[in-house]
Each structure stands twice: as structure tokens, then as C-alpha cells.
């Protein structure tokens, strides 16, 4: 990267390198440098480059950055307003944490609805950055994904209902959260600025529980009750959107309702074959004798792993690539005659218990120091 920057830009390179040390990093390249220059001032980039990997108190961060606390505090508040860091209350004081690119300042930038200068430029830059194979490989990681897919709950077969745990049920995840926040979908908002957005609704991005408090406090979303969030769940299922959730067992922080055309995660699968979300513990099963060969399942599949093929009698039937399947249930939801049902996978994914455990796993798999 050294040849990509002039001497005066070294502070942005230092920030890029710090961001890439996150469990879900951001590989430095020329596009990333342009993104950072749009979002950070030079002074903010210097502060960001010096952040420890773990949340830190104001006084400690001031010492690291060479500021006094009174000077640093308003600078941090401005960075938090832009979604570049998070200020997290613990007892009677705040801890500060640099936000990664995803889930982080990309989402927080495009969750905003107020007019911001340069949004089209940022949308173009993020599109270019996210379409980079190295970047998609970084987001996908190795064994532990930062997201997991939730099956449409009403499609869970009765035969296994008693075996299904709360973390596998989207509705139960929401109920246990006690409510949260609803924000503008950052992926579709980005696509809107590019003129490529689909007709799926914007205000569906779901943040849960205490994680939503920061979203609300920083003006990135509106407070939502459990019933509000369940209504969003139903509306997005009716449209065939995919529920991708924080890949943790306890207190997930978000549920995204993803389309194939705008979502960064879905595009990573469709364009590069990189999965940043772990499939659900269910898979579609076809009853060939009942199938009418209409092809609706193939049309609706958000990652195009269903293809229509001729059987030995010359009939068109769907072929499903089970290994590539997300187990979202979209195909089953739209099957007109019930020829596809969901069944339990033979190998069940058990997510990390907490966000800390998730990031520790991801960091270890990549040979990085955990945050």
C-alpha cells in the first residue's frame, strides 16, 4: 500500500491498517483510502488509527492520542455522530470503540436520511470496494461467519418443533430482545443513490435490545416495540426477503431483511461465491411426485441455487444445490402446491454464545489478536 499514498496521507494509511486488524477487517486499497478521506477528517483519522482493539475509557484514549480529555471529548462526539465510533455507557461512564467497516460505519453512514453531501460518491466508492474479491473473502472469513440465516419460522416442520431452540426462531429472537429500533436499510439506501434500488421497503433494518439504544441515541433509527419488529418480519417474508441475523446465540444485536439485488452479503454470494452468513439449520426437500414444474422456486431463490432441469420423462423439475443453500425458506414460502418443505439438516450449526466469543473465534481463525 505504500506506493498508493503520498506522505501527507500516511495518517489515512495508518487508519486503514488499524481497521484491517479487526476480526472482520477492511483490506487496504486505493478505494478504501478514498472512502476514509470522505468520512474522516485528518485529525479524526489520526485518532481512529490509535484506537486500542478493546473498548477504552476517555482518559486512557486521551493519553494514547496525546490530548487532554476536555479537548478530545467533543472530537469523539462528532465521530460518534458520523458512526465512526461507538460510545457505550457502562455504569456511570462511557467506553469508546472504533467501529469496523461492517457491521459498522458503512451501515451507519447509509442509515442516515438527512441530506448529506457526497452520498452518491460514497455509494459509488462502496460499490467498487464491496465488489473486490479480496474484500468479499475477508467478509466471508473462514468457519465462523459474522451473520447467520434464519429460516421462515412458520415453515419449520411440526415433527421437529420440540427440537428447535430459541436462537433458531426469528420471532423468539425478537421477543427476547424486548424491542429495539427500525432504521433505513443501508444497502438499499446505497443502491438508491446509485439509481439501482429495488422496490423492497427501506425502513426495515432491525436492531435489537440494548444495541438499539445507541442507534436511537445517535439518530440512526426509531424506537420499535416487539410488535413493530414482528410486523416488519411478516412484511419482509411476504416479499421474499432473507432474514440474516447476528451470528450469536445470546442477545443478537440485529436482523437484516435482505434482497438479492442490493444487499452486500447477498451480492457477495451471487457474484463471488463468498458466504458471510452461515446457513440456517434447515434445507428444502422436494417431493417430485407433487411438483408441477412451474419454476417459481427457481425464480424466487435469492442466490440462484435452484435450476430447472428435465427428468427422464421430459418433465421440468427443480434441482437444488443443497450445499450452497442458505436454508432461508423463500422457495418453500412461494411454492404454489406444497411440493417443497423444509427439513432439519443432518449437521446443526451452534453459533457462538456472545458477540465477544464470535469475534474471538473469527480473529483466531484469521490469525489475528482478538478484540
What percent of the chain is modeled with pLDDT above 70?
97
Of 280, 296, 315, the residue that ends a domain is 280
Q: Is 66 left (phi over 0), alpha (psi -120 to 50) or beta?
A: left
132: nearest Cα among 62, 30, 13, 56? 30
334 pLDDT higher than 80: yes
Claim to verify: residue 182 and residue 237 sit in the same structural domain: yes
What percent of the chain is modeled with pLDDT above 90?
92
For residues 90 and 8, the model is more confident at 90
Claim to verify: residue 162 and residue 245 sit in the same structural domain: yes
Domain assignment of residue 367, yes or no: no
Domain assignment of residue 330, yes or no: yes
Claim to verify: residue 206 and residue 261 sit in the same structural domain: yes
Which of 21-30, 312-321, 329-338 has the lowest average pLDDT? 312-321
User: Residue 91's pLDDT is what?
Assistant: 85
User: Residue 148's pLDDT is what?
Assistant: 98
Domain assignment of residue 311, yes or no: yes
Q: What's the rounded mean pLDDT across residues 50-67? A: 96
Q: Which residues pair with 317 in a beta bridge?
A: 309
Domain assignment of residue 126, yes or no: no
Domain assignment of residue 255, yes or no: yes
What is the domain extent for residue 72? 2-99
Q: What is the CATH number for 337?
A: 3.30.70.20
Claim to verify: residue 146 and residue 271 sit in the same structural domain: yes
Q: What's the rounded mean pLDDT across residues 206-210? A: 96
Backbone φ and ψ of 282, nearest 5°: -130, 160
Three-class secondary structure of residue 17 per DSSP: helix
Claim to verify: residue 291 and residue 243 sit in the same structural domain: no
Omega before 130 within 30 of 0, i.e. cis: no
Claim to verify: residue 255 and residue 145 sit in the same structural domain: yes
Claim to verify: residue 146 and residue 269 sit in the same structural domain: yes
4 pLDDT higher than 60: no
Domain assignment of residue 205, yes or no: yes
pTM for this entry: 0.94
User: Residue 297's pLDDT is what?
Assistant: 98
143 pLDDT higher than 60: yes
Three-class secondary structure of residue 315 per DSSP: coil
Claim to verify: residue 163 and residue 85 sit in the same structural domain: no
To which residue does cell 443443497 refer?
322
To which residue does cell 461492517 refer?
102
| Alpha helices in 263-327, H assignment, sequence order | 264-267, 296-300
User: Residue 371's pLDDT is what?
Assistant: 62
Of 280, 306, 335, the residue that ends a domain is 280
Domain assignment of residue 369, yes or no: no
Of 99, 115, 149, the residue that ends a domain is 99
Confidence of residue 159 (pLDDT cuts 50, 70, 90): confident
Claim to verify: residue 271 and residue 151 sit in the same structural domain: yes
Q: What's the rounded mean pLDDT across residues 170-194? A: 97
Q: What's the rounded mean pLDDT across residues 200-210? A: 96
Claim to verify: residue 23 and residue 56 sit in the same structural domain: yes
Claim to verify: residue 23 and residue 89 sit in the same structural domain: yes
Average pLDDT, rounded, for the chain? 95
Query: Count of domains in the chain?
Result: 3
Pairing verdict, β 316-320 and 340-344? unpaired
DSSP state of 104: I
Q: What's the rounded mean pLDDT across residues 247-268? A: 97
User: Residue 115's pLDDT is what?
Assistant: 63
Confidence of residue 152 (pLDDT cuts 50, 70, 90): very high
321 pLDDT higher than 80: yes
DSSP state of 146: S
Q: Name the packing angle between helices 119-130 and 133-140 (round to 10°).
A: 80
370 pLDDT higher than 90: no
User: Residue 369's pLDDT is what?
Assistant: 76
User: Residue 7's pLDDT is what?
Assistant: 63
Q: Is 83 left (phi over 0), alpha (psi -120 to 50) or beta?
A: left
Domain assignment of residue 195, yes or no: yes
User: Residue 189's pLDDT is what?
Assistant: 97
User: Residue 313's pLDDT is what?
Assistant: 84
Confidence of residue 122 (pLDDT cuts 50, 70, 90): very high
Q: What's the rounded mean pLDDT across residues 203-207? A: 98
Claim to verify: residue 171 and residue 270 sit in the same structural domain: yes
Amino acid at each position: 500500500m505504500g506506493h498508493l499514498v503520498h506522505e501527507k496521507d500516511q495518517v489515512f494509511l495508518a487508519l486503514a491498517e488499524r481497521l484491517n486488524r479487526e476480526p472482520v477487517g477492511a483490506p487496504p486499497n486505493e478505494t478504501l483510502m478514498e472512502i476514509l478521506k470522505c468520512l474522516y477528517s485528518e485529525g479524526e483519522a489520526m485518532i481512529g488509527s490509535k484506537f486500542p482493539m478493546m473498548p477504552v475509557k476517555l482518559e486512557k484514549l486521551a493519553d494514547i492520542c496525546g490530548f487532554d480529555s476536555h479537548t478530545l471529548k467533543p472530537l469523539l462526539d462528532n465521530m460518534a455522530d458520523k458512526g465512526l465510533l461507538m460510545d457505550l455507557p457502562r455504569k456511570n461512564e462511557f467506553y469508546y470503540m472504533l467501529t469496523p467497516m461492517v457491521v459498522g460505519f458503512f451501515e451507519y453512514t447509509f442509515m442516515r436520511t438527512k441530506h448529506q453531501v457526497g452520498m452518491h460518491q460514497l455509494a459509488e466508492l462502496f460499490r467498487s470496494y464491496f465488489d473486490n474479491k479480496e474484500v468479499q473473502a475477508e467478509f466471508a472469513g473462514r468457519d465462523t461467519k459474522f451473520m447467520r440465516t434464519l429460516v421462515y419460522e412458520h415453515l419449520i416442520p411440526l415433527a421437529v418443533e420440540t427440537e428447535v431452540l430459541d436462537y433458531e426462531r426469528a420471532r423468539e429472537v425478537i421477543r427476547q430482545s424486548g424491542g429495539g429500533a427500525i432504521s433505513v436499510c443501508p444497502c438499499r439506501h446505497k443502491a438508491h443513490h446509485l439509481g439501482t434500488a429495488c422496490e423492497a421497503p427501506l425502513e426495515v433494518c432491525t436492531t435489537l435490545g440494548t444495541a438499539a439504544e445507541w442507534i436511537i441515541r445517535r439518530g440512526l433509527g426509531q424506537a420499535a416495540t416487539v410488535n413493530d419488529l414482528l410486523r416488519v418480519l411478516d412484511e419482509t417474508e411476504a416479499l421474499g426477503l432473507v432474514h440474516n441475523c447476528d451470528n450469536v446465540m445470546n442477545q443478537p444485536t440485529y436482523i437484516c431483511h435482505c434482497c438479492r439485488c442490493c444487499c452486500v452479503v447477498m451480492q457477495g454470494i451471487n457474484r463471488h461465491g463468498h458466504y458471510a452468513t452461515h446457513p440456517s439449520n434447515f434445507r428444502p426437500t422436494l417431493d417430485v411426485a407433487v411438483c408441477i414444474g412451474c419454476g417459481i422456486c427457481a425464480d424466487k431463490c435469492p442466490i440462484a441455487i435452484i435450476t430447472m432441469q428435465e427428468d427422464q420423462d421430459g418433465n421440468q423439475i427443480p434441482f437444488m444445490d443443497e450445499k450452497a443453500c442458505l436454508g432461508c425458506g423463500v422457495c418453500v414460502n412461494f411454492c404454489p402446491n406444497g411440493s417443497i418443505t423444509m427439513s432439519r439438516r443432518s449437521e446443526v450449526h451452534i453459533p457462538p454464545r456472545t458477540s465477544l466469543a464470535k469475534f474471538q473465534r473469527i480473529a483466531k481463525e484469521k490469525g489475528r489478536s482478538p478484540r
